[in-house]
Homo-oligomer: A and B are copies of this chain.
Amino acid sequence: MMSIKEIAKLAGVSPSTVSRVVNNKKWVKPQLRESILALVRETGYVANNAARSMVLKRTFTIGIVIPDTFNMFQRQLFSIIEHDLEVYGYRTLFFFIKWEPESEFNCLRKLKAENVDGIIMLHELNHPDVYAYLTQASLPVVLCTFGREELGFHSVHVDEEAAARTATEYLIQLGHRRIALISGTHFSFASQRAAGYRMALESAGIPYDEARVISAVAYNPEEGRRSMWELLERGGEFSALFAITDELAIGALRTLYEAGLNAPQDISIIGVDDIDIAGFVAPGLSTVRQPIQAMGKKTAEIMSQLIAGEDCGAHSHVFAHQLVIRESCDTF
């Protein structure tokens, strides 16, 4: 690999001068600058990041903590964030969290080893050491799609409870009263969305019936499929289903197909997130949209401001959700 010294030798100048040129600093005679630039182009020289970040004490790298099984929603989100971060001049480094308990600890190790300039979490970490480290290192942190007010981190998210209430109320408005729920236990959004469901029921004077709710152990289509089958096999009657994520809802839709049932004629189904594929299944999935694009952009923006030491105002940035009506729900 070409190094700055070699370029310097070729140009007959000192490394400092080359450094000044490639970093666009002043105090280099225009003519010299040009000739060095030409040399750089010719040789294809690019400065070594490791060496650079060591002296600068900045890596220009933002760590993104994300589950290794990241779903389509998170996938869209991080693409947006990655893109914007690049525009701001930052690289992204992914830290994939697995379901094993040591994974979080492992992530912390890597975080320390990498010396990132900031961290964006698309995944809730529970190990207190992680948050302790982040705080103590006073590393810029932005939580995306969940909040942690107590910890004082910036966060970008929707009001999960309200979003779930919107979905459930839509079903109620359509005339449904026996509404099943596919919920889950992992991550705070699950209990928040489940709470929104209960509140909607309560407001409408509909009793909450445990026989119609099931807790999924993951948020993918296969779990949705499995859960819906279980719900069906319980024999309890329901005319509509609220699944706390679109992927779960898509799996439930699949179960209906397998069972020879139709949505929305037999059972109405609604999800949350509005992932890309939601509009392509048949019937198109009605859902509550999280403004992925806007949330991703905001996350990147806050991060860049935080690093620049600018004030970002409120710590909690709550985005409005939006009901998206497609074809999977009908009046009862």
Contact = CB atoms under 8 A, between A and B. Distances in A.
Interface stretch (A91-99, A142-150, A310-318): A91-99
Chief secondary structure at chain A's binding surface: helix
A115 B48 contact: yes
Contacts of A96: 79, 82-83
Interface in A253-276: 253-254, 256-257, 276
Interface stretch (A49-57, A160-168, A184-192): A49-57
Interface string A224-254: 0100000000000000000000000011011
Interface string A58-87: 010000000011001001000100110000
A79 B75 contact: no
A280 B112 contact: no
Contacts of A174: none
Given A48-B115, A50-B50, A113-B48, A251 B225 contact: no
A94 B78 CA distance: 12
Contacts of A79: 68-69, 96
Contacts of A53: 50
Contact of A282 (B69, B94, B254): B254
Contacts of A48: 54, 113, 115
B69 A113 contact: no
Given A50-B54, A257-B282, A44 B75 contact: no
A39 B193 CA distance: 44
A46 interface: yes
A236 B133 CA distance: 64
Copy tally for this chain in the complex stands at: 2
- Residue among A91, A98, A108, A137 with the highest chain B CB neighbour number at 10 A: A91
Contact of A68 (B83, B112, B279): B83
**Residues of A in contact with B, size category:** 35 or more
A114 interface: yes
B280 A250 contact: yes
Contacts of A221: 276-277, 280
B46 A112 contact: yes
A96 B81 CA distance: 12
A9 interface: no
A10 interface: no
Contacts of A283: 257
B50 A280 contact: no
Contacts of A253: 280, 282
Contacts of A68: 79, 82-83
A112 B44 contact: yes
Given A1-B115, A83-B96, A250-B280, 10 more contacts: A46-B109, A47-B113, A48-B113, A48-B115, A50-B53, A51-B54, A68-B82, A221-B276, A222-B280, A254-B282
